[in-house]
Amino acid sequence: MSSNVQKPESEWRAILSPEQFRVLRQKGTERPDTGEYNKHTAQGIYTCAGCGTPLYQSTTKFDSGCGWPAFFDAIPGAVSRHEDRSLGTIRTEITCTACGGHLGHVFKGEGFPTPTDERHCVNSVSLKFADE
């Protein structure tokens, strides 16, 4: 696993698409039902689009109907949680532990039949996929 990937903003802009930069580095959100991994069902590993760190196994992905890829758990240590008060409410932001790239938010207690009762709501543009 990559660790402590730090780059100046100019380097991030050079290696990421404008949309990836907006989401990963500026904490943006892609529109619902537009991301390439929302309905993706192949077996493999989802990695950070910024630094390549493995974040989620496909076995933890589920269809939540929320419009973004949903996972019930991350690879241990790969995702960090932070309090987010940006919309006038308290949410839990999730970022790549290695590079700090914004992934999305995690929600608890929604009643999905998963082992953790959590939904990691992740922007597709924050991810890359590798087949197993």
Q: How many domains does the chain have?
A: 1
Instruction: Please give the residue range of the domain that contains residue 82.
Output: 9-30+42-131
* Cα–Cα distance, 53 to 46 (Å, whole number): 9
Q: Percentage of the chain with pLDDT > 90?
A: 89
Does residue 71 belong to any structural domain of this protein?
yes
Here the CATH number for the domain that contains residue 57 is 2.170.150.20
CA distance 125 to 132: 20
**Mean pLDDT, range 62-67, rounded to an integer:** 96
Residue 1 in any domain: the answer is no
For the segment 118-122, the average pLDDT, to the nearest whole number, is: 97
More confident call, 74 vs 88: 74
Residue 4 forms part of a structural domain: no
Q: Taking 60 as the threshold, does the pLDDT of residue 2 lie above it?
A: no
Q: Is the pLDDT of residue 79 over 90?
A: yes
pLDDT bucket at 100, cuts 50 / 70 / 90? very high
Does residue 4 surpass a pLDDT of 80?
Answer: no
HEC secondary structure over 49-106: CCCCCEEEEHHHEECCCCCCCEECCCCCCCEEEEEECCCCCCEEEEEECCCCCEEEEE
Q: Is position 37 within any domain? A: no
> Looking at 48, 96, 99, 121, which residue is catalytic?
121
Active site residue 96: no
DSSP β-bridge partners for residue 83: 92
